[in-house]
Structure 1
Amino acid sequence: MQGQITLPTWDSLAELDDEALPLLPTALLIARDEYPDLDPTVYDAVVQAHADHLRTEVDTIEHWPLKIAAVNRHLFDELGYGGDHGEYYDPRNSYLNQVFERRLGNPISLALVQMEVARRLGIPLDGVSFPGHFLVRLPVDDGVLVMDPYNGGRPLDVEELRERARSHLGGETPDDHVLAQILDAAPARAILMRMLRNLHGVYVERGEWDRAARSADRLLKLAPEQDDALRDRGLAYLNLDYEAGARHDLALYLQRNRQATDAQWVREKLVELGGRAPRLH
């Protein structure tokens, strides 16, 4: 039976621990900023329909890897969900309602679809905040099965994972311990924060400073201690000529991060605004 899905409020998120933070509803809350008429019940029903279609088949399969193979076949081969290789940085790829409607997305949004469907079928699929492209992982007898939702849920072996990580680690190849840490399951908050950082980066690149400011502000609602988001919101406000907001955010960033590598640059921005900048030591 399909019930109503309730979206959280932005002001409630910081108080929720990771286990209580609802992944799909909060991702739809992010999308509602851009699509205010979004009806979350519609997209919850889409996920449920995907799961219901698979339930009989998946319940007859014994092993987790074969269960997730059936999920991947339905989502990626039959329904046509896939990575937007043509317009990777299209912001629609980060808004879950658009991912469901277009069946195109980026690695993290496709992972979220895959995870939501799998979990409703009792499959313990988790996200992996891998450097570069977001991945998913499934426990198996001898470790974890790691898959790439951006490329049809393709399984990745250890050597490919090492190679993918190496380019983000200064050319160093991760040993087993480092790779295991990289492959830790990502909590819901980390997934949602990464979605918002992706959106912020897209909007900065496009010079859409109102949306960049919104993305940084929403990130602070999720994780108020994220000082980089405080700086990013201040810089977006600066580009919007909202000087009071820019002064507040940049001054607070400097108070918290006097030793940051960009502290002198931020201090100069603050002085240009006529604000008093904390002394750097």
Structure 2
Amino acid sequence: MHDRSGLPDWNALAGVDDASLPLLGTALLIARDEYPALDARRYDAVVDGHVAHLHNTVSAIEHSALKMQAINRHLFEELGYAGDHDEYYDPRNSYLNQVFERRLGNPISLALVQMEVSRRLGVPLDGVSFPGHFLVRLPVDDGVLVMDPFNRGRPLGVDELRERAQPHLGGDVPDDDALSTFLDPASHRTILMRVLRNLHGVYRDAQDWERATRCADRVLKLSPEDADALRDRGLGYLQIGHLAGALEDLSQYLSRHAHAADAGEVRTQLIAAGRGSARLH
């Protein structure tokens, strides 16, 4: 499933079970779409360098929360990884090679750095696909330690987590069960699809339709049945003038999701695209 560069092959990813889906490698594969000369081995070595620096310190610490504290101190204070508060929607914040180079990122890309370094040190850090900003979680003796990678790995208490989730729930405060669900570990596939959706949103808003369409296509490589990505790729194809692709994707979307909230709007665009296609022949 890997090409000569050591990165995964896009066409093989759909059938890979989550446990075998390489997180770092696939994140760098996403970045290679934008940076074709990217050398994945360079960034694997960067992670190994962070791990080598931390190994003796972390090995000497018994409690996992204190291990994590040492990792965060090195990444965020000594190395200077930080959340890009000034240019949050800069697409470079989603491309992992640029995060390693600039030491700036968004919540999910910084979480990827944290997770990769921590796991190589035997610290079982997971991602959390929390509403709003992506978080990370670490099992501890009395429960789960939840941290914010966008703000130097700062620990978050239950009250702050409820407050952060509330705007995404129509103003409702999540109860214990809902909050627990939000804090479930995110699968590798979920994390990578969220990276791509973030990029799709940035490029769509900038009306950069070629890149937006590419991101939707990559989501479908990871999850071929994803309805939103199928629609988004079809609408992107419309914008770049690939009418055959648009007709195929949007027809499939409506066939599978005839009662979707946006079905009427998509149907209107599909009809208009069909008329345009007819005029071209």
Give the Cα–Cα distance (whole angstroms) in 1 for the partners of residues 273 and 124 of structure 2: 51
Alpha carbons of structure 1 residues 252 and 213: separation in structure 2 relative to 1, 3 Å: same
Give the Cα–Cα distance (whole angstroms) in 2 for the partners of residues 36 and 193 of structure 1: 20
Give the Cα–Cα distance (whole angstroms) in 1 for the partners of residues 195 and 273 of structure 2: 31
- Structure 1 match to 2:152: 152
- Structure 2 match to 1:108: 108
Instruction: Please list, as runs of the form range in 1=range in 2, the aligned pairs for 1:161-200 lying within 5 A after superposition.
Output: 161-200=161-200
Q: Which amino acid in 2 is paired with 1:175?
A: D
Q: Say yes or no: does 1:95 pair with 2:117.
A: no
Q: CA deviation at 1:55?
A: 0.4
Give the Cα–Cα distance (whole angstroms) in 2 for the partners of residues 124 and 238 of structure 1: 44
Give the Cα–Cα distance (whole angstroms) in 1 for the partners of residues 241 and 38 of structure 2: 30
Q: CA deviation at 1:6?
A: 2.0
Instruction: Please list, as runs of the form range in 1=range in 2, the aligned pairs for 1:1-281 lying within 5 A after superposition.
Output: 6-274=6-274
Q: Can you list the C-alpha shifts for 1:136-181, whole angstroms capped at 9, x where unaligned? A: 0000111100000000000000000000001101111111111000
Q: CA deviation at 1:195?
A: 0.2
SS at match of 2:11: helix
Give the Cα–Cα distance (whole angstroms) in 1 for the partners of residues 19 and 80 of structure 2: 31
Q: Can you list the C-alpha shifts for 1:83-124, whole angstroms capped at 9, x where unaligned? A: 011100000000000000000000000000000000000000
SS at match of 1:127: strand
SS at match of 1:85: coil
Q: CA deviation at 1:273?
A: 1.3
Q: Which amino acid in 2 is paired with 1:55?
A: H
Give the Cα–Cα distance (whole angstroms) in 1 for the partners of residues 101 and 175 of structure 2: 40
Q: Which amino acid in 1 is paired with 2:149?
A: P
SS at match of 2:146: strand
Alpha carbons of structure 1 residues 65 and 96: separation in structure 2 relative to 1, 3 Å: same
- Structure 2 match to 1:278: none
Deviates further, 129-138 or 235-244: 235-244
Tell me, yes or no, if the aligned pair for 1:136 and 1:146 is still in contact at 8 Å: yes
Q: Which amino acid in 1 is paired with 2:247?
A: R
Q: Which amino acid in 1 is paired with 2:235?
A: L
Tell me, yes or no, if the aligned pair for 1:127 and 1:134 is still in contact at 8 Å: yes
SS at match of 1:274: helix
Q: CA deviation at 1:13?
A: 0.4
Extract unaligned runs of 5+ from structure 1.
Answer: 276-281
After TM superposition, where is structure 1 displaced by more than 3 Å over at least 4 residues in a row? Answer: none
Q: Which amino acid in 1 is paired with 2:43?
A: Y
TM-score (norm 2): 0.96
Q: CA deviation at 1:242?
A: 1.2
Tell me, yes or no, if the aligned pair for 1:234 and 1:249 is still in contact at 8 Å: yes
Q: Which amino acid in 1 is paired with 2:234?
A: G
Tell me, yes or no, if the aligned pair for 2:145 and 2:155 is still in contact at 8 Å: yes
Give the Cα–Cα distance (whole angstroms) in 1 for the partners of residues 245 and 58 of structure 2: 52
SS at match of 1:29: helix
Q: Can you list the C-alpha shifts for 1:174-211, whole angstroms capped at 9, x where unaligned? A: 11111000000001000000000000000001111000
Tell me, yes or no, if the aligned pair for 2:81 and 2:104 is still in contact at 8 Å: yes
Q: Can you list the C-alpha shifts for 1:41-86, whole angstroms capped at 9, x where unaligned? A: 0000000100110000000001011000000000000000000111
TM-score (norm 1): 0.96
Tell me, yes or no, if the aligned pair for 1:5 and 1:25 is still in contact at 8 Å: no
Give the Cα–Cα distance (whole angstroms) in 2 for the partners of residues 205 and 264 of structure 1: 22
Q: Which amino acid in 2 is paired with 1:190?
A: T
Q: Which amino acid in 2 is paired with 1:232?
A: D
Extract unaligned runs of 5+ from structure 2.
Answer: 276-281
Q: Which amino acid in 1 is paired with 2:220?
A: L
Give the Cα–Cα distance (whole angstroms) in 2 for the partners of residues 184 and 131 of structure 1: 12
